[in-house]
Amino acid sequence: MHDILIGKKILERNEEVANENRGQFEELGIFVINMVSAPGAGKTTILEKTIERLKDKFQIAVIEGDIQTDNDARRIEKCRVPVKQITTGRTCHLDAHMISHTLDWLKGIKGLKLLFIENVGNLVCPAEYDLGEDCMVSVISVAEGDDKPLKYPAIFHASDALIINKIDLLPYINFNMKLAKDNAIGINHNLKICEMSCTTGKGLDEWCDWVKKDVSR
């Protein structure tokens, strides 16, 4: 009983801070995308490819959330956009409070229009923690299996878009694309779905067009 109440309070406080973040992002004119997936689905690779395509169009920054290491932040640094590492230690998700600590840094980035937040690799907890983002994008890779939307419904329910990545591996893997999409749409019929391969480049233009439209809205 006590555990339930404490959990509820934590989420309520998170929601308050998320709303404050949202207000700040709006004031600063920054569009914010929260990227969530299981570890290894391809979030950092998608960011690298996206930045390559969009960084001349508008100023981008990235927040990298990880339990350990700044490996991903160092990968993004090579793309020559501002990047901030948040190392969460034992915490398996980012929360709104952690993001609020980056606001001063964000304010210092001239002309910032688009912020990507790469959440900690986890298909469960990030669903519960609003960060104040405009849009949540979940990523699954075909190697994970077509049943993931059914097994982790909360994250797909909370997402605005789903990227199904690594489609170059389809010939080697027993993944039913129609079933995966039907499962995801069954949970969230508003979900926009993009099939992608960072290896071949398929789907990246479609995805970047979505992002461009959202940023210029």
Ligand X SMILES: Nc1nc2c(ncn2[C@@H]2O[C@H](COP(=O)(O)OP(=O)(O)O)[C@@H](O)[C@H]2O)c(=O)[nH]1
Q: How far is the CB of 41 from ligand X (least distance, A)?
A: 4
Cβ closer to ligand X: 168 or 214?
A: 168
Handedness of CA 31, 126, 157, 41 (dihedral sign): positive
Cβ closer to Mg ion: 17 or 161?
A: 161
Spatial CA neighbour of 92 closest among 150, 50, 163, 38: 38
- Site size with ligand X, rule: CB under 6 A: 16
Q: How far is the CB of 12 from ligand X (least distance, A)?
A: 30
b/e per residue 88-102 (b: at least 16 CB within 10 A): beebebbbbbbbbeb
Cβ closer to ligand X: 17 or 142?
A: 142
Based on the shown chain and the rule CB under 6 A, indicate whether residue 188 belongs to the binding site for ligand X: no
Reduced to 3 states (helix: H, G, I; strand: E, B; else coil), residue 62 is strand
Q: Which of 91, 168, 173, 177 binds ligand X (CB under 6 A)?
A: 168
* Footprint of Mg ion on 23-82 (CB under 5 A): 43-44, 72
b/e per residue 145-172 (b: at least 16 CB within 10 A): ebebbbebbebbebbbbbbbbbbeeeee
Reduced to 3 states (helix: H, G, I; strand: E, B; else coil), residue 67 is coil
Q: Which of 41, 86, 140, 164 binds ligand X (CB under 6 A)?
A: 41
Instruction: Tell me if 169 sits within 8 A of 40, measured CB to CB.
Output: no
Query: Which of ligand X, Mg ion, none interacts with 41 (beta carbon under 5 to 8 A by kind)?
Result: ligand X
Cβ closer to ligand X: 17 or 120?
A: 120
Beta strands (DSSP E) in the chain are 31-37, 59-66, 83-87, 112-118, 135-141, 161-165, 192-195
Q: Which of 7, 23, 39, 201 binds ligand X (CB under 6 A)?
A: 39
Pairwise CA distance, residues 29 & 65, whole Å:
22
Cβ closer to ligand X: 14 or 119?
A: 119
Summarize as ranges the residues that interact with Mg ion (CB under 5 A): 43-44, 72
